[in-house]
Every structure is written in structure tokens, then in C-alpha cells.
Amino acid sequence: MSSATRSAPWVILSLGIHGAVLVWIWRSYPPVPLPLPPGPVKLVQLTPLPKAHPTPPVTPSAPPVTPSAPPVTPSTPPVTPSASATPEPDLTYNPTDTSPIEATARTAAWLSAAQAATGQGGLAWTIKRDIPAPYPLLACPLGGKVILGVAVDPQGHLVDSSSFGPQIIQSSGYDILNQAALAAVRHYEFSATGAYQLFLVAFDFVAPSSCSSSSPAPTSSPSAVPSPVATPTLNGQNHGNSSPPSSQPPPSF
């Protein structure tokens, strides 16, 4: 008989003894029940916490715009200028520079100044009649002749100089007609020739038939002075030297 077979009864006996001891202990010491709290037990229902939502970024708002007060428009009505506020043209006859003798002297002085300013001693003038000049209706019923000394540069531009152009060589006697002639030459387009040009430009203002018979008359009569339409005695046409012009035949205007 093997050793394992011989020890088996002893193992069984040992296990039985241990089991009996455990049963005796369990019966000798029963479990003590836990004390319960006095009163009925309340069941508490737990409320789930709300889900946290991300807080959106705070954008600073623009300050409120306070509307400004509209500009105060003055209630004063615009002043409409009356007819009397328009200055009346000066229709007084002025005999200065209206005579042929005065025109001759002014022509010589103008030609000499132009030759000196341009450095061209042989510079001469020509007569020009084809520059249009509208009749100023405020001059009704006046009329008269105006002769201007005009210088044009090589590019065809009017020379605006106090010494040689444009200048009144012979006045009509009426400032309103003289100014109409000056305005006409300033708006005229001259041709460019590549050289300086001098012109004696003649204007003959005649009152149109549309002038009313009730138009204001000049404040003084020009009958006591040389006629404003008289032909001045001027330097010879296209003559370039600066000798006294009275020795040359007058041009025909």
C-alpha cells in the first residue's frame, strides 16, 4: 500500500474536525443586527445638476449715438435785390482822347513803347476791322468809334501790358462803349505767326433800331468837342519807324 493511500483517512478526519469547530463557533456567537434610526426612513430623490453651457464672449457694445441738433436755418427770407440796386451805367460823355490830334500822339507813344519792349525797332502796325463787338444795350441810344492799339505775341496771345496794349488810342467818349471794345479784343483769337504783331483795331458802335426812344440820353452833348467818329491822323499804315506820325498821311478808317 502506497503512502498516499495510507494518509487519506487522516486528511478526511482533519477536515471533519475543522468543520465541526466552525459550526460550534457560528452557533455560539450569532451575528448582532445593526441598529435602525428611529422613525420612518425617507427616501431622498437626487436632482441631476443642469448641464453647464459655454458662456458666449461678451462683445462691448458701442456707446449710444446722440443725434446732434439740426442746423438752425434763419427764417429771414432772402433779400431780392430791387431794380434800383443795379448800378446804372455811366453815360456821361467824356471828351478826353476823342480828338484826332490826341489819337495821333497816343499812337506814336504806343508804337514806341511796343518797339522798345520787343526790341524790334522796325515793328509796324496794321489796321484791323474784323473783330466783332456786340453793342451793349445799356448804352442805348449812344454811338461812337473806338480805336485800340493791340499787340500780339509770336504764339498768337494778346499782350496785356500797361505800356503797349491793349490801349485806347481814340475814345468814343463813353466808357461803356470803350469797355465793350476792350472786351471784344480780349476774347478774340489771333493767329500765331511766329513774330510780334501790332494792330490798330477800329470799332464803330451804332445804336440798333431796337433801342427804345425812352432810353436815357447822355448827360452832356458832345457837340462842342471833336466828333467821336472822326478819323484820327495816325502813323502811316505798316510804317515801322518811330518818327513823328504827323508827317505821315492818315489811314482811312
Domain ranges of the chain: 100-208
Q: How large is the average pLDDT for residues 24-42? A: 67
> What b/e sequence results for 194-233 when a residue is b if at least 16 CB atoms lie within 10 Å of its CB, and e otherwise?
eebbbbbbbbbbeeeeebeeeeeeeeeebeeebebbebbb
- Tens of pLDDT, residue by residue over 69-88, are 666 666 666 656 555 556 78
Q: Across 32-41, 61-70, 144-153, which has the greatest mean pLDDT?
A: 144-153
Average pLDDT, the chain: 77
> Three cell numbers at 141?
441810344
Start-end of H helices in 30-140 = 100-118
165 pLDDT tier (thresholds 50, 70, 90):
confident
The pLDDT, as a whole number, for residue 82 is 54
Q: Which residue has the higher pLDDT, 43 or 112?
A: 112
Task: Kindly tell me the burial class for residue 88, based on how many C-beta atoms sit within 10 Å of its own C-beta (0-12, 13-18, 19 or more).
Answer: exposed
* CATH fold group of domain 100-208: TolA/TonB C-terminal domain (3.30.2420)
The pLDDT, as a whole number, for residue 221 is 46
Please compute Rg for the chain using Cα positions: 62
Q: Are 114 and 164 in contact (CB under 8 A)?
A: yes
217 pLDDT tier (thresholds 50, 70, 90):
low
- Tens of pLDDT, residue by residue over 93-105, are 999 999 999 999 9
Query: How far is residue 32's CA from residue 35's CA, in Å, rounded to a whole number?
Result: 9
Residues 6+ apart with CB under 8 A from 101: 233
235 pLDDT tier (thresholds 50, 70, 90):
very low
